[in-house]
Homo-oligomer: A and B are copies of this chain.
């Protein structure tokens, strides 16, 4: 089941594991690139590609002439950043969350995405899910899955993990997504679903997800209770 991986990915994962279990501690330096070269029996460029991954993720900071220092930014990190599914989030945060499927049927593309180039006539599966944590409604996810390439979403996949279904079951390679966060006035139905007070706003995360061959596969509108919403990000200053 586990796909074969490149050395650079294996090394990056191994270092990440060692950070996680305290073998490499925040504030201390990793072994030098030359030492890692010997440790893993690879060339230095391969080591460097692994370290650059960790650098981009914000796990380490490379300092010229000194070394690569382990950062300590993950303690408060709740990674809605990046592309991560609710299921994975649930597992990594141990949130005691449940998912209730409200709709799973044919539907149409919302206006927002039509304005961003998706055809109004595009056929989609409309999947609506209510996420509850400790018995309280916190998120309503409205997914629009493009048909083709998709045909239907099994209830189990909708309940469990859509990403796992697309990647592991169907073999699609999810590659990237655009995401936009705004704050809006909810319609009546949504306000009721999230048990919002009168005039309370809702945080909307709209995203478009693409496969590795640039095929658009998923549109999502995710509505969050404002008091339960938190988005955490790590960013490097771009030089380009």
Contact = CB atoms under 8 A, between A and B. Distances in A.
B178 A230 contact: no
Contact of A179 (B226, B233, B237, B239): B233
Given A182-B230, A212-B63, A238 B201 contact: no
Contacts of A63: 212-214
What is the predominant secondary structure among interface residues of chain A facing chain B? mixed
Interface in A162-221: 174-183, 199-201, 203, 210, 212-214
Given A180-B230, A181-B230, A183-B227, A174 B237 contact: yes
A53 interface: yes
A83 B238 contact: yes
A115 to B, nearest CB: 9
A232 interface: yes
A83 B231 contact: no
In this complex, the interface size class of chain A, counting residues with CB under 8 Å from chain B, is 35 or more
Given A199-B199, A236-B175, A240-B57, A231 B180 contact: yes
Interface of A: 9, 12-13, 16, 45, 53, 56-58, 61, 63, 69, 71, 73, 76-77, 81-83, 116, 174-183, 199-201, 203, 210, 212-214, 226-227, 229-240
